[in-house]
Amino acid sequence: MDALAERSGLGKGTVFRRFGTRSGIFRALLDESERDFQGRVMSGPPPLGPGAEPLDRLVAFGRERVRFLLDNREIARAALDTRAVVPFGPPAAMSQMHVRMLLRQMSTDAADLDVLAMQLTAALDVPLLLYLPGGADGAPEPAFADRLSRGWEDLVRRLFG
């Protein structure tokens, strides 16, 4: 915080008032990339964006979310507020809404669609960030990223395909 305040020419108190916490600073850094990702989900080309079958969109969403989190893993990890009871924020809420919408479009016969959407979203966010193994340089191996994407597709197609 001291270094950020010094670099920005602001007082440490101003930085704290603006961002609240260290994780708040990292959430702000991640925000632009997250908005871009959400834009591609809402209006990008299929299968991630509108125009594809809901199941194909759900598969594409998971694959792209995995890629997004791997590309932004250090900032995303730092953005987790470990003091929160559940370390989800606005990106997870958007993901849950999107997954719920796709499940509804698939006429999924779920006992509780909200809980199912939350569980599927959890498979794409917090566990990946907290438990992602890294190679010698700390970066995930490309083969592991492929395995995660294939695992997501396998899960979704087994449940809803």
Mean pLDDT split into 10-residue runs, the chain, 161 residues: 75 80 82 92 97 97 91 81 60 87 93 93 73 62 83 95 87
Q: How many domains does the chain have?
A: 1
For residue 4, is it within any domain? no
pLDDT in the model for residue 56: 98
- Residue range of the domain that includes 64: 23-160
Domain harbouring 62, CATH code: 1.10.357
pLDDT of amino acid 24 = 83
Looking at the domain assignment, is residue 147 inside a domain? yes
Within-domain flag for 8: no
In a domain, 11, yes or no: no
Sign (positive or negative) of CA dihedral 85, 123, 24, 39: negative
Q: What's the confidence (pLDDT) of residue 91?
A: 63
CA distances from 98 to 18, 29, 66, 132 (A): 29, 23, 15, 24
Peptide bond into 50 cis (omega under 30): no
Where b means 16+ CB within 10 Å and e means fewer, 97-119 reads ebbbebbeebeeeeeeeeebbbe
124 domain residue, yes or no: yes
Question: What's the CA gap between 64 and 41, in Å, rounded?
Answer: 9
Whether residue 128 lies inside any domain: the answer is yes
Beta carbons of 156 and 59 less than 8 angstroms apart? yes
Is residue 106 included in any domain, yes or no?
A: yes
Residue 114 lies in a domain: yes
How far is 99 from 54, CA to CA, in rounded Å?
9
User: What pLDDT is attached to residue 136?
Assistant: 60
